[in-house]
Amino acid sequence: EPDLPNIGDFAQHQTHALDGNASPMLQLARIADKKISEASLRSFLGSFGFSGERMDTPSERFSGGERARLALALIVWQRPNVLILDEPTNHLDLDMRHALTMALQDFEGAVVLVSHERQLIASVCDELLLVHNGQCREFDGDLTAYADWLRQARIEMIKNGQKPAEPVKSQVEVKATISRLDKEAQRKEAARQRELSRPIRKNIEKCETQISKVTPRLAEIQSLLGDSALYDASRKNDLLKLMNEQTELKAKLETAEEQMLELMMELESLEQSF
């Protein structure tokens, strides 16, 4: 019988499974072969950005980025032949994102990656899977082609949700009539078109305002989560409060961005019909 795959799974909340009372060295030693030298263990942890002092520090004192690095290190040490990564770059700084990219490029097993990081996807993935309308299939194209597909899909979605448009012939006739109007009539027509598009533009402005409010606070929370003191047991409530706020704001940001994209496509479609 073929060997069962050794699966390594790194999810967004994998860091919660760490032993907060144990140091990186202790947690790695628990899963390492007893014959492996301490120097080898320390060298491995060093490749994940842990200095000598941090290797012996209880992980409950670590920032979110350090905990994510430790969780990844423990998974990689076990040499899985199938590695499943769900948003692995959350809480990682630029240097660690680059290090992760290099490690995945050298990884000899299979990698299943779920990520919003375009650079990571472009650098690591050989195949893209498209999940749409309850179905999953291989996507024949790169990220640029996916962006084009997504734009067209959203246009179709918007069209399906609107009232039937006027026949193409009547739109052509309107354009032909406008071309024969004098300048005053053209100015009136331009004003009419602006009035028709005004509700969409106002909604776009509302989305932009919401995004401009949410983004700075998210950046502030990200900075606060990088403070190792926040992970002391005495500040557990503060940590949970920040993480809950981060989750809520990310959802609001995603919704606002989706709405703005749909509105911009609706505006583009409306202006093309003038």
Co-location of 33 and 115 in the same domain: yes
- Of 96, 126, 156, which residue sits at a domain end? 126
- Of 97, 126, 155, which residue sits at a domain end? 126
User: Looking at the 3D structure of the chain, how many domains does it have?
Assistant: 2
Co-location of 119 and 177 in the same domain: no
The domain that contains 24 carries what CATH number?
A: 3.40.50.300
- Please tell me the predicted confidence (pLDDT) of residue 69: 82
Output the pTM of the full model: 0.46
Co-location of 12 and 121 in the same domain: yes
38 touches 61 (CB < 8 A) = no
Q: Residue 117: phi, psi to the nearest 5?
A: -80, 105
Residue 135 lies in a domain: no
Residue 32 lies in a domain: yes
- Please tell me the predicted confidence (pLDDT) of residue 254: 83
User: Mean pLDDT by 10-residue block, N- to C-terminus, for the chain (274 residues)?
Assistant: 66 72 94 91 88 90 81 84 81 71 76 81 85 86 80 69 37 36 59 78 84 86 84 86 89 83 74 60
Co-location of 77 and 23 in the same domain: yes
Instruction: In whole angstroms, give the CA distance from residue 205 to residue 209.
Output: 6
- Of 68, 103, 126, which residue sits at a domain end? 126
For the chain, how long is the longest CA-to-CA vector? 90
Co-location of 81 and 178 in the same domain: no
Co-location of 116 and 185 in the same domain: no
- Please tell me the predicted confidence (pLDDT) of residue 180: 41
- Please tell me the predicted confidence (pLDDT) of residue 162: 42
Residue 192 lies in a domain: yes
Residue 136 lies in a domain: no
Co-location of 190 and 267 in the same domain: yes
- Please tell me the predicted confidence (pLDDT) of residue 182: 52
Co-location of 104 and 214 in the same domain: no
Co-location of 11 and 122 in the same domain: yes
Co-location of 107 and 195 in the same domain: no
Co-location of 248 and 184 in the same domain: yes
Residue 63 lies in a domain: yes
- Domain extent at residue 216: 166-273
DSSP sequence for the chain? -PPPP-EEEE-TTGGGGS-TTS-HHHHHHHHS-TTS-HHHHHHHHHTTT--HHHHTS-GGGS-HHHHHHHHHHHHHHT--SEEEEESTTTT--HHHHHHHHHHHHH--SEEEEE-S-HHHHHHH-S-EEEEETTEEEEE-S-HHHHHHHHHHHHHHHHHHTSPPPPPHHHHHHHHHHHHTS-HHHHHHHHHHHHHHHHHHHHHHHHHHHHHHHHHHHHHHHHHHHT-GGGGSGGGHHHHHHHHHHHHHHHHHHHHHHHHHHHHHHHHHHHHHH-
Residue 155 lies in a domain: no
- Looking only at the bridges linking them, the beta strands covering 135-139 and 128-132 are antiparallel
- Please tell me the predicted confidence (pLDDT) of residue 76: 83
Residue 210 lies in a domain: yes
Residue 25 lies in a domain: yes
